[in-house]
Amino acid sequence: MSTERSPIRVVQAVHGRREAVADPSYQAALAEELRQSYGTAGLVELYGRFMAGDGFVDLLMRKSIWQSVAKSCGCGLQVGSGAGFKHPETFEIGNSVFIGAQACVQGRHDGRCIIGDNVWIGPQAFLDARDLVIEEFVGWGPGAKILGSSHTGIPVDVPIIRTDLEIKPVRIGAWADIGTNATILPGVTIGKGAVVGAGAVVVSDVEPFAVVAGVPAKFLHWRTDSTPVKP
């Protein structure tokens, strides 16, 4: 058995380099027909019939239903099997957005969820999208999470789950990259081009083009630095 290690390979990215291509006209017509025929509640129910499959029809219907029910939605959307949502009528989705299998985007009836062009959201991601903006060309690792709200826990003589919900906006700047299983806490802003390491828990704002990691996440170095600073 050879112990020789394979060399590191550098290959071109796929999703981030893809040019937005207009959807076939029949897809827009299908989305409009679904919107007219089912309405928001009916579309959410209909989605369950096509949520789990991987065939062409299931993929087409998931995409068309998201386009029908969202506040706005660009072309080239891809939605993996098992991906779920709540209050999709508040979503504003850009062009060429990918949402991985079993991801969940949870909005709120009076909330705001904006996902910019060319965003890639990995499988099993969870986005508390009650007040969320993700700008363009963001990479979102598998299993990474946004927590955008928490209970006040006051007064203490009632169950916490019955206390008021405090919603804090989360903002993810353009070109940022969020590592696998990282967690972004309520009220945090991730700056443009910043990198969040895998498994990090981000409790405070991250400066543009900074690299952070750990629990809680700490600054490691700037992406422009040639010699990283030890944590």
CA 141 to chain centre: 9
> Could you please report the per-residue DSSP string of 176-190?
-EE-TT-EE-TT-EE
For 156, the token pair is: 């203490």
Supply 165's token pair.
Answer: 């919900």
3-state secondary structure of 174: coil
Q: What are phi and psi of 5, to 5 degrees?
A: -85, 140
- For 152, the token pair is 């006040």
Beta bridge pairs of residue 183: 145, 201
Of the candidates 15, 87, 109, 151, the residue annotated as catalytic is 151
φ/ψ (deg, to 5) at 192: -55, 130
C-alpha dist (Å) from residue 134 to 51, 94, 128, 140, 161: 24, 10, 12, 10, 28
Contact yes or no for 201/183 (Cβ under 8 A): yes
Q: Establish whether 221 is a catalytic residue.
A: no
25 CB-side CA count, 13 A: 0
Strand 165-167 versus strand 149-151 pairing type: antiparallel
Residue found by looking up tokens 């991906």 in the block: 83
**Active centre residues (catalytic):** 151
